[in-house]
Amino acid sequence: MAELDMINRDPNELNGFIKASFEDVLGEPDDAHSFECVWTASNACFNCGRDCCYKFVTLLCGLCVALYWGCCFAVVAFETIWCMTPLLRVVNILCNLFQKFYTICITCWLAPCCETLGLFFSRITVVNK
């Protein structure tokens, strides 16, 4: 198992789309500025609220949710390895047999009839008057 990167916790950018800093959410146009102390305090409140709430929710639910998803992926791996892959192999074998049977039937029965009809109709001539 690979060692956890405690700094970059999303190295594959799975959740890059949910990045929401203060500047991404709130902005004041040039002609509508609040007091600097309000803007600075709002930034601090936003970041503190976001960080504290996220940490609290992950403290309450993170381990259970991680266990749930771990079990879900284990079940998916089990179903793929022990159920779906063997099933696909059986279907592949059966389809191969059906393909051979179908090819033999076409070659033995339908092909001679089609060749005979082709020869029969190839001798027809059309004359325009």
In tens, the pLDDT along 35-61 reads 999 999 999 999 999 999 999 999 999
Query: What single-letter DSSP state applies at residue 4?
Result: P
Contacts of 46 (CB under 8 A, 6+ apart): 22, 25, 26
Share of the chain above pLDDT 90, in %: 69
Asked whether residue 1 carries a pLDDT value surpassing 80, the answer given is no
In a domain, 50, yes or no: yes
Tokens coding 1: 């198992």
Asked whether residue 10 carries a pLDDT value surpassing 90, the answer given is no
- What's the structural domain count of the chain? 1
Domain that holds residue 112: 32-122
In a domain, 15, yes or no: no
- The pTM assigned to this predicted structure is 0.63
Contacts of 33 (CB under 8 A, 6+ apart): 39
Once rounded to an integer, what is the mean pLDDT over residues 120-126?
86
pLDDT score at 50: 94
